[in-house]
Amino acid sequence: MSSFLTSSFMHNIFGGLAQGVIFSLVALSLVIIWQSTHVLNFAQGAMAMFATYVGLTEIGRGVGYWWCVLLSVVVGMALGGATERVLIRPLYGKPEINPIVVMVGFLAVLEAVATSIWTSTARTIAAPFSQIYFQSHGKLVLLSPFIIFQIVLAIGIMLLVAALFRFTKLGLQLRASALAPEVARLLGVRVNRMLTIGWMLSAGVGAIAAVILASGSFGLFPTDMDGVFVAGFIAAAVGGLESPIGAIAGGLLIGLAEQFILAYWSPNVAPLGGIIILVVALMIRPQGIFTKSVGRRV
Amino acid sequence: MIRVDDLSVSYGAVKALRNVSLEASPGLITAVLGANGAGKTTLLRTISGLVNPVGGDIHLGDTSLLRMPTEEICRLGLAHVPEGRGVIEELTVEDNLRLGALASKVDIAEGLEAQYAQFPALGDRRKKYCATLSGGERQMLAMARALIAQPRVLLLDEPSLGLAPQVTSDLMKLILRLCESKNLTVILVEQNAKGALRIAHNAVVLHLGAVVASGDAQTVAADEDLRRYYLGLVE
Ligand SMILES: Nc1ncnc2c1ncn2[C@@H]1O[C@H](COP(=O)(O)OP(=O)(O)OP(=O)(O)O)[C@@H](O)[C@H]1O
Ligand SMILES: [Mg+2]
């Protein structure tokens, strides 16, 4: 058993999961927005980065780690809500390319502003968890208290989001607004408000992904989320864009794929993991991963 | 009470309603009849704020509904069962019902209980996803989901569509019973003129977006020309 935990196979499993949960969080956040407003938010990663940078600025003033996390999430939610209200709402009913163009522009603006305020060097917040790997009979287990924290936090957030959608009145109204906006309106649901709340939730989930990066040994730099966004985007696409579970599974799969490529091939080509998963998914579903499930009315 | 004054609606070049006026009062069923494309659905959608009129006004009591968002009109106590019923297939029966109650002050548990008592078939299927319901069950659910909020006004768009004759006749009796017992203002849109006129107190006949006749249901039902040319009741 102990030699199993320290095997290189398990090293890769742990490493892949640690990376994968970050992709899953981003993928989940993309799916929340896609389901409610049918926008592919290309600025999702940059918004998360920006929110976390704002959260980090508090660290110098002696605020504890958990306050930084909370602040990043709150700033992320505010940014998400404001983005929906100001940038996206005027574009409903317009061609689907419009919000994509706007959000790609917003991504560039956020990264430029972050770089000019905080420079392009990586910033870290030290999480109150050790980064030192566990050992078993003198051999390394590729798990540290921090990695366990990162996986538990990500899974906890996903469960929280799932519970909110599944079990609360707000979640029911969010689901109805996404599934059948007109019927929801006829039943008195304030659909516009639900769309804003959907963006807020999504940006809050995204911020957690950036917070985890910032808490890790490499820290977070302004364009750091670009690669994470691509992986999260592929994960969401492979999962079908309509399915939160699919997105989460896609994220884990890509994390694992990248880790195994890194270990058995070369670290330089690790990002190919996502592409390989995408190609395989396209081979299984040649009709396209963006095809909507049948019977869905807008 | 619902009062529609001189209402006109256009979809681009298509004039769907032309200077339509009508009144619907509490405790009475007002049937709106007419052939395909007469403008019946457009009339209900305009009352609910889903379509903006180019002219005229709509009042619920003393409140003008013009330019009011659909969700706020609903919250004034107006329930609209849309054409095709609007059951959300991806949700369970119970979630559809709960959704109907959320915007009102009704206690959800009590509301559910009352609707399950009224429609026992829904109670048996409460955990089922609505994609599995039959047409009749969907109509029941749509009615229950509208009633759970205890509305003052009920707009029904072709509730009998696709239902067997016996089910239709039961449904019509239910609508009449609800209208009278709860003092509901009911606007009943139907192509099935015969069934609707049997329970309606008043009737309005639309043709190409204009009112061609209105009055008490018996008078409309007895008019040979109306029956022949607009209601399809004479072969
Ligand atoms: N969204 C729309 N865009 C353009 N024209 C429309 C739209 N909805 C309805 N119309 C047109 O408006 C007219 C009235 O349509 P409406 O649906 O109100 O009729 P209806 O009386 O409900 O018919 P049916 O009995 O077939 O349901 C028709 O000529 C129809 O083609
Ligand atoms: Mg119609």
Within an 8 Å CB–CB cutoff, is residue A178 touching chain B? Answer: no
Q: Is the Cβ–Cβ distance between A23 and A225 less than 8 Å? A: no
Please state, for a pLDDT cut of 70, what percent of chain A lies above it.
93
Bridge partners, A134 (sequence order):
A141
CA separation for the pair B226, B235 (Å, rounded): 13
| Count of domains forming chain A | 1
Q: Is the Cβ–Cβ distance between A72 and A54 less than 8 Å? A: yes
Q: Which of B90, B91, B141 to mutate to test the interface with A (most CBs of A within 10 A)?
A: B90
Best residue among B42, B155, B156, B205 to mutate for probing ligand 1's pocket (most ligand atoms within 8 Å of CB) is B42
In order of A36, A65, A177, A297, B103, the CA distances from A193 in angstroms are 11, 32, 10, 21, 13
CA separation for the pair A271, A230 (Å, rounded): 9
For residue B41, the CA-to-ligand 1 centroid distance in Å is 7
Residue A297 has pLDDT above 90, yes or no: no
Burial class (CB in 10 A: 0-12, 13-18, 19+), B164: exposed
Residue A188 to residue B91, Cβ atoms within 8 A: no
Residue A291 has pLDDT above 70, yes or no: no
Residue A186 to residue B74, Cβ atoms within 8 A: yes
Quickly state the pLDDT bin for A292 (edges 50, 70, 90): low
> Which pair of tokens denotes residue A183?
């019927």
Bridge partners, B92 (sequence order):
B129
Count of CB atoms situated within 10 Å of the CB of A167 = 10
**Mean pLDDT of all residues in B46-51:** 98
Helix, coil or strand: residue B159: coil
CA separation for the pair A298, B174 (Å, rounded): 31
Residue B227 has pLDDT above 70, yes or no: yes
Q: Which fold, B2-77+152-231?
A: Rossmann fold (3.40.50)
| Nearest-CB residue to B99 (from A176, A182, A295) | A176
Contacts by B197-203, CB closer than 8 A, 24 or more apart:
B197/B31, B197/B33, B197/B221, B198/B172, B199/B29, B199/B172, B199/B173, B199/B175, B200/B29, B200/B30, B200/B31, B201/B28, B201/B29, B201/B30, B202/B24, B202/B28, B202/B29, B202/B30, B202/B31, B203/B30, B203/B31, B203/B32, B203/B33
Please state, for a pLDDT cut of 70, what percent of chain B lies above it.
100
Q: Which of B41, B45, B51, B70 to mutate to test the interface with A (most CBs of A within 10 A)?
A: B70
Shortest distance between the Cα of B42 and any Cα of chain A, in A, equals 14
Least confident of A17-26, A263-272, B159-168: A263-272
Closest CA to A257 of A241, A268, A270, A266: A270
Contact residues on chain A for B71, CB-CB shorter than 8 A: 184-185, 188-191
Shortest distance between the Cα of B149 and any Cα of chain A, in A, equals 9
Complete edge-to-edge strand list for the sheet that includes strand B202-207: B78-81, B153-157, B185-190, B29-33, B202-207, B210-216
Complete edge-to-edge strand list for the sheet that includes strand B2-11: B14-24, B2-11, B55-60, B63-64
Least confident of A176-180, A282-286, B99-103, B180-184: A282-286
Q: Which of A187, A190, A191, A292 to mutate to test the interface with B (most CBs of B within 10 A)?
A: A187
Query: Atom 28 of ligand 1 has which residue's CA nearest to it?
Result: B37
**Mean pLDDT of all residues in B57-73:** 97
Helix, coil or strand: residue B57: strand
The predicted-structure confidence for A77-91, as pLDDT tens digits, reads as follows 999 999 999 999 999
pLDDT at residue A61, rounded to an integer: 66
The predicted-structure confidence for B169-218, as pLDDT tens digits, reads as follows 999 999 999 999 999 999 999 989 999 999 999 999 999 999 999 999 99
Instruction: Name which residue leads in pLDDT, A3 or B74.
Output: B74
**Mean pLDDT of all residues in A25-51:** 93
Within an 8 Å CB–CB cutoff, is residue B84 touching chain A? Answer: no
pLDDT at residue A294, rounded to an integer: 43
pLDDT at residue A290, rounded to an integer: 55
Average pLDDT, chain B: 95
| Boundaries of every domain in chain B | 2-77+152-231, 87-150
pLDDT at residue A295, rounded to an integer: 38
Within an 8 Å CB–CB cutoff, is residue A172 touching chain B? Answer: yes
Within an 8 Å CB–CB cutoff, is residue A294 touching chain B? Answer: no
**DSSP state for residue A128 in the 8-state scheme:** S
Residue A233 has pLDDT above 50, yes or no: yes
CA separation for the pair A16, A13 (Å, rounded): 5
In order of A284, B80, B109, the CA distances from A287 in angstroms are 9, 38, 44
Count of CB atoms situated within 10 Å of the CB of B201 = 18
Q: Which residue ranges have their beta carbon within 6 Å of ligand 1?
A: B 11, 14, 16, 34, 36-42, 83, 191
| Nearest-CB residue to B88 (from A183, A188, A191) | A183
The predicted-structure confidence for A147-168, as pLDDT tens digits, reads as follows 999 999 999 999 999 999 999 9
| Nearest-CB residue to B100 (from A179, A182, A187) | A187
Average pLDDT, chain A: 88
Nearest CA in chain B to A180: B88
Residue A60 has pLDDT above 70, yes or no: no
CA separation for the pair A37, A84 (Å, rounded): 9
For residue A93, the CA-to-ligand 1 centroid distance in Å is 21
pLDDT at residue A298, rounded to an integer: 35
Amino acid at A173: Q
> Which pair of tokens denotes residue B158?
């072709």
Residue A2 has pLDDT above 90, yes or no: no
Query: Atom 22 of ligand 1 has which residue's CA nearest to it?
Result: B41
Tell me the whole-structure pTM to 2 decimals: 0.90
For residue B234, the CA-to-ligand 1 centroid distance in Å is 25
pLDDT at residue A240, rounded to an integer: 78
pLDDT at residue A212, rounded to an integer: 93
Domain span at residue A47? 22-222
Shortest distance between the Cα of B187 and any Cα of chain A, in A, equals 16
Unique residue bearing structure tokens 């706020």: B72
CA separation for the pair B143, B140 (Å, rounded): 5
What string of H, E and C letters represents the secondary structure of B91-111?
A: CEHHHHHHHHHHCCCCCHHHH
**Extended beta strands in chain B, E state:** 2-11, 14-24, 29-33, 55-60, 63-64, 78-81, 153-157, 185-190, 202-207, 210-216
Contact residues on chain A for B91, CB-CB shorter than 8 A: 172, 175-176, 179
Within an 8 Å CB–CB cutoff, is residue B150 touching chain A? Answer: no
pLDDT at residue A100, rounded to an integer: 93
Residue B19 has pLDDT above 90, yes or no: yes
CA separation for the pair B78, B147 (Å, rounded): 10
Please state, for a pLDDT cut of 90, what percent of chain A lies above it.
59
Quickly state the pLDDT bin for A130 (edges 50, 70, 90): confident
pLDDT at residue B231, rounded to an integer: 79
Question: Which residues 6+ apart lie within 8 Å of B109 measured at CB?
Answer: none
